[in-house]
Copies of this chain bind each other. A is one copy, B any other.
């Protein structure tokens, strides 16, 4: 049984992104504001080649419906050239309650955004595994601690699948929502495969592979050892 309790520090994770290779000693949380960065978004643009995609994988059960779809990362253009992940992507899970047979109330839906590491926990689940994640969407604001979300996956004892549950306690709105639905082995296999596909994309690693070779044709010089030495100094 694998049990994970991860406090998802949203702003913490974003802040830590800003330090890669640009400063020496840095507080993981602070000082990121000093880095000037021209931002842009890949998500939700109305540009012809940046349209919002609706292709969620949905599962409809007796008590609730669950949808999953990836959200790509947001990039930022650095003054020194190059682009950086400004905000990590995630896989968004949406839970909606059933109000009657095959009827669901989408206005009462609750969402939970799986980070890359939480996706890693899910895809690595064994047939008897379980994991649980806790989010405070209002962390580091004045409402910190007022809203608490917990998402869990538990294997069925007979190995026929899993139960996925989301619980949202909102002390401001005085609400307590709980959603729970069974996920068959086949449905979990779809999630495992599609989440594994999406993971490098929500991390931005697909950007590394799309670089077109620059066919700068230099003089036909002999390729010797010398021209390679500087690249291996470490």
Contacts and interface: CB of A to CB of B under 8 A. Distances in A.
Interface of A: 2, 4, 6, 10-11, 14-29, 32-43, 45-47, 49-58, 60, 67, 69-70, 72-73, 75-79, 81-87, 99, 102-107, 110-111, 113, 116-121, 123-124, 131, 137-138, 140-141, 160, 184-190, 193-194, 196-201, 203-209, 211-225, 227-229, 231-234
Contact of A228 (B36, B72, B87): B87
Contact of A24 (B18, B105, B120, B220): B105
Nearest to A196: B193
Contact of A28 (B104, B204, B219): B104
A32 to B, nearest CB: 7
A52 B82 contact: yes
Given A185-B124, A201-B208, A211-B72, A58 B16 contact: yes
B190 A35 contact: no
B137 A233 contact: yes
A50 B206 CA distance: 13
Contact of A20 (B23, B25, B51, B67): B67
B213 A208 contact: no
A78 B223 CA distance: 11
How many copies of this protein are present in the complex?
A: 4
A138 B27 CA distance: 33
A87 B212 CA distance: 16
B207 A200 contact: no
Contact of A36 (B77, B201, B208, B221): B221
Nearest to A67: B20
Contact of A205 (B21, B39, B70, B219): B70
